[in-house]
Amino acid sequence: MNTGIIASRYAKALLRYVTAHGDGERTCRQAMTLEKALSEVPELRQVLNDPAAIPESRKLQLLQAALGDEPMCDALKRFLALVARSGRFGDLLFILHDFSDLYYKSLGVHFVTVVTAVPASEALLERIRTEAVRRLGGKVVLETRTDPSLLGGAVVTADGYRVDASVRSQLRTLQNQFINKNKRIV
């Protein structure tokens, strides 16, 4: 079975559970914390993926430790026990990502990432936010980053769509056009 399908099914099940029993915001926040830990610590992913490495109860303790001092909410604890019993720790990173995505979509929240070569002005960010609200509806949460390799312009990503208006991208397009045109001449 496809990892994406499995992750989606488990994420939808967790979403249905937290919707019915409450505590969705806390569950989502903790799921995002665990997702970040799994992304940043490959050794943790490796231990969780290996069925013979350590017992399932110890794996659950490692995930609790990744949350720091905050006790794991009941919904997430029960869900992770289900994932452990099903032998799906290998899919956990994708499941947690899908869950947080589904949870915020169910609330009408859209995350928009804006990457610029230099820190973006408030006026630019407000124009992007206004356009995102007009096109996507709901609430828009902007995340900004800088990447000097863009040289100028911006790359905006929202709901799986990407608009690359960076100078780097435009230069690459010109370079490819120049190469293709000169291939025909020779």
Q: What is the pTM of this model?
A: 0.73
What is the reported pLDDT for 126?
93
Section 22-47 average pLDDT: 89
Report whether pLDDT(41) > 90: no
d(CA 92, CA 73): 17
Give per-residue pLDDT as tens, 92-142. 999 999 999 899 989 999 989 999 999 999 999 999 999 999 998 889 989
For position 15, what pLDDT does the model report?
Answer: 94
34 pLDDT above the threshold of 70: yes
Residue 70: CB atoms within 10 A of its CB come to 11
According to DSSP, residue 119 is labeled P
Name the band, by pLDDT with cuts 50, 70 and 90, for residue 59.
confident
74-113 as b/e: b if 16+ CB within 10 A = ebbbebbeebbeeebbbbbbbbbbbbbbbbbeeeeebbbe
